[in-house]
Amino acid sequence: MLRVKRKTGGFSFLTTMICIVCVVVGILCITKYANIAKQKERLKAENASLVAQTEELEDKLKQIRAQEEFGKDDAYVESVARSQLDMVYPGEVIFRVQGEKYN
């Protein structure tokens, strides 16, 4: 009769392949996690930048709205018309004096 020798000790081919697959899957998971962590940090920095930009734009919008409200004031409009556009009311006379200024 023939005797079949069984291998004792050591790893079988199947066990070796399962270990290799586990190591490869582990490495892939670790690299994927590292990439996700880098992307998360990048997105956090981008979010902080966008929040700061949003705050700046909100401040600008408040300033513009305040200027709009100020521009609706009749006294302001009259002041700008008189100083920058040299406008006067009908019947007003403007005297301009040229020459040296007196102390």
**Burial class, 92, CB count within 10 angstroms (exposed 0-12 / middle 13-18 / buried 19+):** exposed
What does the DSSP 8-state code read for residue 10?
S
Please name which of 16, 42, 14, 35 lies closest in space to residue 27, comparing C-alpha atoms. 35
| pLDDT at site 59 | 95
The 10 Å Cβ neighbour count of residue 81 is 13
Mean pLDDT of 40-55: 97
Structure tokens belonging to residue 3 = 């005797």
The amino acid that residue 36 corresponds to is I
The model's pTM is 0.48
Q: pLDDT tens digits, residue range 6-35?
A: 665 667 889 999 999 999 999 999 999 999
Q: Of 4 and 11, which is predicted with more confidence?
A: 11
Structural domain of 55: 21-85
| pLDDT at site 92 | 85
Is 73 contained in some domain? yes
Domain count, the chain: 1
| pLDDT at site 102 | 61
Is 99 contained in some domain? no
